Amino acid sequence: MSERKTDDATLISALLVLSCTITTEDGVIPACLAEAADRLAELVEERRWVPVGERLPEAGSLVLAFINGEAMEATFCGGGGRAWQTDRGGFSATHWQPLPPGPEANWKTELPTD
């Protein structure tokens, strides 16, 4: 059996079609499908690689940057997209994306004790 992977835009469209097609007495399932489509669209936008020619992060922002064919943590220093600082020095990035948020729980209090 071959593995089939559906792209995000198709999944979002399918959820929206289902939300308009399925009817229930209380309307909960269609509302949930529409909400899932909206949230998926938000997540896709939040996690996409942004070309530096389209938009830049705020100066001083720590982001994930695509530099010399490799994704690495970098700080945007300004300079029209040409000034990025990494632990390996300064470079020019082609794309970037925000770092994901940290865990919601307080990790210090959840460490296992021996």
Q: What are phi and psi of 58, to 5 degrees?
A: -65, 145
Residue 104's pLDDT is 73
Residue 95's pLDDT is 93
Residue 108's pLDDT is 61
Give the pLDDT mean for 70-84: 81
pTM value > 0.85: no
Phi-psi domain of 81 (left: phi exceeds 0; alpha: psi -120 through 50; beta: other): left
Residue 112's pLDDT is 63
Q: What letter does residue 89 receive in the DSSP assignment?
A: E
Q: What are the angstrom distances between the C-alpha of 65 and each of 47, 53, 58, 91, 114?
A: 12, 13, 13, 10, 38
Mean pLDDT for all residues in the chain: 83
